[in-house]
Amino acid sequence: MIIQRVVLNSRPGKNGVPLAENFRLEQSRIADTIQAGQVLVRTLYLSVDPYMRCRMNEDTGSDYLLPWQLSEVADGGGIGVVEDSRYDGLAKGDFVISFNWPWQTVAILDGSSLQKLVPQLVNGHLSYFLGAAGITGLTALLGIKEKGHVVASANQTMVVSGAAGACGSLAGQIGRLEGCSRVVGIAGTDEKCSILVQEMGFDAAINYKKENVAQQLRKLCPGGVDVYFDNVGGDISDTVISQMNQNSHIILSGQISQYNKDVPYPPPLPPDIEKIREERNITRDRFLVLNYMNKQEAGILQLCQWIKEGKLKVRETVVEGLANIGGKIFALFSKNNL
């Protein structure tokens, strides 16, 4: 059977910005028949995520992420439909998910690597299982529960950087659902800020490209910041940390402003900001959602319930066609989008 697939064509270098040309679309061939225990699947959705920048390096800098190999098919979170099965428990027509899904139109996969999906849990929006009802949503939910120390009725203020992104937009909403009395987002356009306030229920949003973030934080968070959901790192995070309260908490979700640089993770703070963190006893522990997989099932059910009840608003960016996936990665890590 002839298929299309996307392979890693070149590496951008640890300090380079990924380009669409780092990937190559090509034809390949897979077997016409499947063996016992295998499943033939047709790809429906693939997820492009910030962590993939590390996989473009020869050394990912992580003990849980393997690098993509040159001229080999890339992979990540994916959803598809079963077209043929020789694996007990999966039948033609079932929808399935894997977090090592090859970037190709059709694939033969080990049935044991797939999880069957229940579309009704997300009102039929299958792609949500790669986002709001998947690892992205779990990162927001478990990050807040495990590292945010949110206490209902404690009058806490949460700030979210990268707030219009897949994780940030959920984190702000979940912070409110968990008990934060005030939620402020930081994003890069007026349109994104408007969506955060008008659709996502944030109390306010700051356009960091047009406004003075420090001044706006003092205005919008007069009592200081108690919980900071950090998706970006860099100067914005330094500014937020400088206005955090005693015994407050940083949820270290991501550092996307640093992913095109050869720095350790999590990147060390500048000396003056580190001094503030220490003096105010601000926690900044590394958070990895994979360490909490024993809470995955309950977490996903909670996310699905909020989605069905309309308490969790979801926005997605969907790009049609396997040939455009390299451009999606370029857009994700372009300086204009950080």
Cα(17)–Cα(260) distance, integer angstroms: 6
User: What is the model's pLDDT at position 156?
Assistant: 98
Q: Is 285 exposed, middle or buried (0-12, 13-18, 19+ CB in 10 A)?
A: exposed
Q: Model confidence over 236-254: pLDDT tens digits?
A: 999 999 999 999 999 998 8
Q: Model confidence over 106-126: pLDDT tens digits?
A: 999 999 999 999 999 999 999
Select the more confidently predicted residue: 153 or 132: 132
Cα(204)–Cα(233) distance, integer angstroms: 20
- pLDDT for 207 beyond 50: yes
Cα(167)–Cα(198) distance, integer angstroms: 18
Give the confidence band of 27 by pLDDT, cuts at 50, 70, 90.
very high
Short-list 143, 73, 142, CA closest to 109: 73
Amino acid in the structure at residue 122: V
- pLDDT for 337 beyond 50: no
> What is the location of CATH 3.90.180.10 in the chain?
2-117
Q: Model confidence over 316-329: pLDDT tens digits?
A: 888 888 888 877 66
Please report, for the chain, how many H helices and E strands are present, in that order.
Answer: 9, 12
SS3 content of the chain, % helix, strand, coil (to 5): 35, 25, 40
Amino acid in the structure at residue 328: K
What homologous superfamily is domain 135-290 in, according to CATH?
A: NAD(P)-binding Rossmann-like Domain (3.40.50.720)
- Among 94-98, 109-113, 272-276, 330-334, the minimum mean pLDDT is found in 330-334
Strands (E), 2-94: 2-8, 23-29, 38-46, 75-85
The CATH fold of domain 2-117? Quinone Oxidoreductase; Chain A, domain 1 (3.90.180)
Cα(68)–Cα(218) distance, integer angstroms: 43
Cα angle 325, 329, 331; round to 5? 110
Cα(47)–Cα(82) distance, integer angstroms: 18
> Cα-flanking dihedrals φ and ψ of residue 34, to 5°?
-110, 155
- pLDDT for 52 beyond 80: yes
What value does the mean pLDDT take over residues 79-95? 97
Percent of the chain with pLDDT over 70: 94
CB of 245 within 8 A of CB of 226? yes
Within 10 angstroms of residue 91's Cβ, the number of other Cβ atoms is: 12
User: What is the model's pLDDT at position 338?
Assistant: 42
Spacing of C-alpha 181 from chain mean position: 25
- pLDDT for 334 beyond 70: no
Percent of the chain with pLDDT over 90: 78
- Which H helix or E strand runs over 53? helix 52-55
Q: Angle between the 234-241 and 213-220 helix axes, to the nearest 10 degrees?
A: 40
User: What is the model's pLDDT at position 288?
Assistant: 86
Q: Model confidence over 163-182: pLDDT tens digits?
A: 999 999 999 999 999 999 99
> What is the location of CATH 3.40.50.720 in the chain?
135-290
What value does the mean pLDDT take over residues 185-205? 97
What value does the mean pLDDT take over residues 72-78? 96
Mean pLDDT of the chain, nearest integer: 92
DSSP 232: S
- pLDDT for 310 beyond 60: yes
Give the confidence band of 211 by pLDDT, cuts at 50, 70, 90.
very high
